[in-house]
Structure 1
Amino acid sequence: MGAERPDGRVERGNQTRQLVLTRAVQVASTEGLEGLSLGRLALELKLSKSGVFALFGSKEELQLATVRAAVAIFVDHVLTPTRAVAPGLGRVWRMCESWLTYSRTRVFRGGCFFYATIAEFDARKGKVHDALAATQTGWVTFVEEILEEARVREEIAADTDVHQLAFELIAFMELANAESVLHDNAPGYTKAARAILGRLRAVATDTSDLPPMP
């Protein structure tokens, strides 16, 4: 007996799901997760509404799937390049640089997907709020861990408050994103890079792994 062939319907369903989510993350980054609807996406992508509904079942499930898809994209553009660099101050800078590039190059056309959608759901209750809160907590934890690696390796001062420093670095990055999206310009990224490098130089035991000020 020959090898069992994969179910073509499952493969087509997976392809359709990916097509819908590729569109959904871009819509949500500019119009919010509430801007998503199964009917709208089906119409824009020229798909069967019933077929799209069968893939997601409800608007909430579509929103949750969209958050997960956005996380995977964020990992590819920010976390993976960061992990490609050896632990220490150089990795800290690569993390910040990758985040600013992710926002500046409009991986999501509305800038940072999470900045936009967290603001939309921060005061709400429910599964979508919880999913977004978990992604934000995960990002903050990641930043703190990268900083702690540098502190343990004595590349930043031993008395550095990594929780405070993480808060400040994230704030610089998010403000650059917000300013750029609001005014459709890029100067905020240079200001953020200067601010980030200023803070890192202030705590670094050796600045050789940091670039010059832009």
Structure 2
Amino acid sequence: MTSRVSKGEATRQAVLDEATRTAARLGLAGLTIGSLAARLELSKSGLFAHFKSKESLQLQVLERARDLFSEEVVRPALKAPRGEQRVRALFEHWLHTIMDGGSECLFVSASAEFDDQPGPVRDQLVRDHRDFADSVAQMFRTGIAEGQFRPDADAEQFAHDLHSVMLGFFHACRLLNDPKAELRARHAFEALIDAVRVTSRVT
């Protein structure tokens, strides 16, 4: 019994990984159990047993993308020293996951797809974005506590501004194929840091 459960879970994870990659390219709305079964050469009934509905599949894909983004961006940043170095690490990992076509692609496309479609998928997207914004703000607050950022700086505003920079970079890099996209994003990030720094630049 244990081996069968483990095999079933392994299959589910493999399907979710493929579904997440597909959704990053094509969007969540176009992701169906039937199309996924055909792509993986699995039975539609077998996949339905795992996911039950298209909406359930979409929610589980979002969960997998969230875990991947944490692995690619958040956890590596948390290994850096508190304060400016941690915020810089977050920026660098976030930048590279966009350039590499990582999990950020799915969140950007899904936000455009579901921004005016009430329901569980949109609700989960809202929670994911707010949770991440809170995490960025908290990283910034540790910089204030360390005496590296101005004590009167607004952590929520910094999180908002950094997200705006990264969205701009996403479109410049992936849609416009702007050869200066990375340079412009780095320039914008340095401007954000310069505006809130109270200590000498961390190297």
Give the aligned partner of residue 52 of structure 1.
47
For residues 195 and 126 of structure 2, the distance between their equivalents in structure 1, rounded to whole angstroms, comes to 31
The alpha carbon displacement at 1:15 in A equals 1.4
2:110 paired with 1:117? yes
Q: Is the 8 Å Cα contact of residues 147 and 199 (structure 2) preserved in structure 1?
A: no
The alpha carbon displacement at 1:20 in A equals 1.1
The alpha carbon displacement at 1:186 in A equals 4.8
The alpha carbon displacement at 1:161 in A equals 1.5
The alpha carbon displacement at 1:27 in A equals 1.4
Give the aligned partner of residue 34 of structure 1.
29
Unaligned runs of 5+ in 2: none
RMSD (Å) for aligned C-alpha atoms: 1.4
AA in 1 matched with 2:37: A
AA in 1 matched with 2:134: T
Q: SS at 1:158's partner residue? A: coil
Pairing of 1:87-106 with structure 2 (within 5 A): 87-106=82-101
Deviations 1:134-192 (A, max 9, x none): 10001110111011110122101111122212111110011101221212355212211
2:27 paired with 1:24? no
Q: Is the 8 Å Cα contact of residues 80 and 89 (structure 2) preserved in structure 1?
A: yes
AA in 2 matched with 1:134: R
TM-score normalized by the length of structure 1: 0.90
Unaligned runs of 5+ in 1: 1-5
The alpha carbon displacement at 1:112 in A equals 2.2
Deviations 1:186-214 (A, max 9, x none): 5212211111112102221123315xxxx
AA in 1 matched with 2:184: K
For residues 156 and 76 of structure 1, the distance between their equivalents in structure 2, rounded to whole angstroms, comes to 26
For residues 137 and 189 of structure 1, the distance between their equivalents in structure 2, rounded to whole angstroms, comes to 25
Tell me which of 1, 13, 16 is aligned to 2:8: 13
Deviations 1:25-53 (A, max 9, x none): 11111221111111111111111111111
Q: Is the 8 Å Cα contact of residues 27 and 35 (structure 1) preserved in structure 2?
A: no
For residues 7 and 43 of structure 2, the distance between their equivalents in structure 1, rounded to whole angstroms, comes to 13
For residues 192 and 17 of structure 1, the distance between their equivalents in structure 2, rounded to whole angstroms, comes to 37
Tell me which of 188, 203, 206 is aligned to 2:199: 206
Give the aligned partner of residue 172 of structure 1.
165
For residues 19 and 172 of structure 2, the distance between their equivalents in structure 1, rounded to whole angstroms, comes to 24
The alpha carbon displacement at 1:8 in A equals 2.5
TM-score normalized by the length of structure 2: 0.95
The alpha carbon displacement at 1:130 in A equals 0.7
For residues 123 and 68 of structure 2, the distance between their equivalents in structure 1, rounded to whole angstroms, comes to 19
For residues 3 and 43 of structure 2, the distance between their equivalents in structure 1, rounded to whole angstroms, comes to 17
Q: SS at 1:66's partner residue? A: helix
Report how many residues are paired. 203
Q: Identity rate of aligned residues, in percent?
A: 32
For residues 158 and 13 of structure 2, the distance between their equivalents in structure 1, rounded to whole angstroms, comes to 37
2:156 paired with 1:163? yes
Bigger radius of gyration? 1
Q: SS at 1:119's partner residue? A: helix
For residues 25 and 181 of structure 1, the distance between their equivalents in structure 2, rounded to whole angstroms, comes to 18
Q: Is the 8 Å Cα contact of residues 104 and 186 (structure 1) preserved in structure 2?
A: no
For residues 64 and 179 of structure 2, the distance between their equivalents in structure 1, rounded to whole angstroms, comes to 26
Q: Which moved further from structure 2: 81-90 or 184-193?
A: 184-193
